A and B are shown apart, each in its own frame.
Chain A
Amino acid sequence: MHNARTVKTTPLQLALAWSFAGIPLLAGVIQTLFNAMKLFQ
């Protein structure tokens, strides 16, 4: 059954979760931006 005990999400947990998803995405965006620069060369 669902336990109503308070378990507060810490800033560290939030940072880890966002980094886990965000860092690969950011890497992909940067890589794509570098490739996109060829349009202006």
Chain B
Amino acid sequence: MTTTLDASGMPARSPLRFLDREHTIARPGYSRWMVPPAALCVHLCIGQAYAFSVFNLPMTKLLGVTQSAPGDWKLTELGWIFSIAMVFLGLSAAVFGRWVEEGGPRRAMFTAGVAWASAFLISALGVYLHNLWIIYLGYGVVGGCALGIGYISPVSTLMKWFPDRPGMATGMAIMGFGGGALIASPFSVWLMSKFASTTDVGVLGAFITLGCVYFVFMMVGSAIVRVPAPGWKPEGYVPPTTATKLMTKNDVFVYQAIKTPQFWLIWIVLFCNTTAGIGVLGQASAMSQEMFPGQITAVAAAGLVGLMSLFNMGGRFSWASLSDFIGRKNTYFVYMVLGFALYVTVPYAGASGNVVLFVLCFLIIVSMYGGGFSTVPAYLRDMFGTRYVGAIHGILLTAWSMAGIAGPVLINYIREYNVTHGVPKAQAYNTTMYIMAGLLVVGFLANLCVRAVDKRHHMKDDKAGLEPARA
């Protein structure tokens, strides 16, 4: 028996044909405002990654239940689950970026949904068998791939639907990634309390439930997403007839883009902004208590962390939306200049005991950290065009992975060094703040160097279109 293959290499009667890009082309009358909730369905689910730490402590008591018993996992071993997931986020976004771009958003969202649900179910098996390697594989590897594919899946589709407001459109989706933890954290704690018993901490039941709930949400997202028909544009929208200085009308092929200095300059900008932000975000609780002993308690510090999560989420939408009006390069200038001023102000706020100033600095910093993520897809679109922006964005996310290592390492080791050399705890973070400010100077200079991409990198207008035009 022979199987007939269609043009995309799929069996002609494959039950998965509904995932193809050609089956997701919107019919006339479809509202583009259906696409942001579709994207949110995916990003709100994968944003759970930021809340994974709520499982860490209960997972150190899987055997002992009330307290850790011999054979129970240690926090240091559990910390690797999140780290592996972050590494695979960057790797999968880079490796599968072109596949996501060419196959369309529905196939990518569907794949991410299956992988994300599988990550929880495999991890549940790991909990059941008390085998940490299964969880490394489940949440770390499979979940990490779901994160990478899911994160980039709606980006270029949103920008095609909103050519008039690309920053706002991607800001809405990427805001969901920040908001996912706000939902997942209390929901996971509630689930564990429901499944907990005298012999169970409730992690197993919580994992299985989360896997099922996230699967449903992500399938709904993949079902309602559509790509615009070729040539579609919003009513009343007149595309610019000529390319502006920093906004191309041409496309650059994904592997050609990484040969341009612009890609690496934006990589440095994102890396600097993210490193500085992660360093503060991860240590905010400890830092605030040590800088203001007696003024900020552990409970108040937890409140600060919650407030920072809200600003992280809100910054993703508001800064990216603002970038539609002031331009991407200028928005990053604001991140770098304002960020520099805020980082050097933090030690002053600590020395003068000004809690309000300290909190304000942190909230604005963390909003720009979020804004850095949500503004970058539109920056790439301005530089390299829409066609491969999702794939290029995927490769750029390696900057995030690198920053995820550099940020916490910088802040932890420098604090440790200062404390062991007799610096009072209240001042132990000052050097780090100045180093973060220095990083933003590097980011500022990199952003300053960004110019329009040379036309020799642009794709030819032929149907294959994969080769750059000869100069």
Binding site for B on A (CB under 8 A): 1-9, 13-14, 17-18, 20-22, 24-25, 27-29, 31-33, 35-41
Contact = CB atoms under 8 A, between A and B. Distances in A.
B282 interface: no
B28 A21 contact: no
A17 B301 CA distance: 36
Nearest to A2: B25
Contacts of A17: 34, 37-38, 224
Contact of A32 (B22, B40, B41, B310): B310
B29 A7 contact: yes
Interface of B: 22, 25, 27-31, 33-34, 37-38, 40-41, 44, 176, 179, 182-187, 217, 220, 224, 229, 296, 299-304, 306-307, 309-310, 313, 359
Contacts, number: 102
Given A2-B229, A25-B182, A35 B27 contact: no
A32 B182 contact: yes
Contacts of A13: 31, 34
Contacts of B304: 36, 39
A25 B179 contact: yes
Contacts of A37: 303
Contact of B41 (A5, A21, A27): A21
A18 B37 contact: yes
Q: Which of A2, A5, A32 has the most CB of B within 10 A?
A: A32
A29 to B, nearest CB: 6
Given A14-B31, A29-B179, A38-B303, A21 B186 contact: no
Nearest to A24: B183
Nearest to B25: A2
Given A14-B31, A35-B302, A29 B186 contact: no
Contact of B176 (A2, A3, A25, A35): A25
B148 to A, nearest CB: 21
B27 A3 contact: yes
Given A17-B37, A39-B303, A28 B27 contact: no
A34 to B, nearest CB: 8
A35 B303 contact: yes
A13 B359 CA distance: 41
B30 A22 contact: no
B303 A22 contact: no
B310 A22 contact: no
20 contacts: A4-B27, A6-B27, A9-B29, A20-B217, A21-B40, A28-B184, A28-B185, A28-B187, A29-B182, A32-B306, A33-B310, A36-B306, A36-B310, A37-B303, A38-B300, A39-B296, A39-B303, A39-B306, A39-B307, A41-B299
Contacts of B30: 7-9
Nearest to B181: A28
Contacts of B300: 38-39, 41
A11 B125 CA distance: 43
A9 to B, nearest CB: 4
Q: Which of B33, B303, B309, B310 has the most CB of A within 10 A?
A: B303
Nearest to B226: A9
Nearest to A35: B306
Contacts of B306: 32-33, 35-36, 38-39
Given A25-B179, A29-B179, A40 B303 contact: yes
B183 A20 contact: no
A41 B300 CA distance: 8
A21 B303 contact: no
Given A1-B22, A38-B300, A39-B300, A25 B40 contact: yes
A33 to B, nearest CB: 7
A26 to B, nearest CB: 9
A3 B303 CA distance: 52
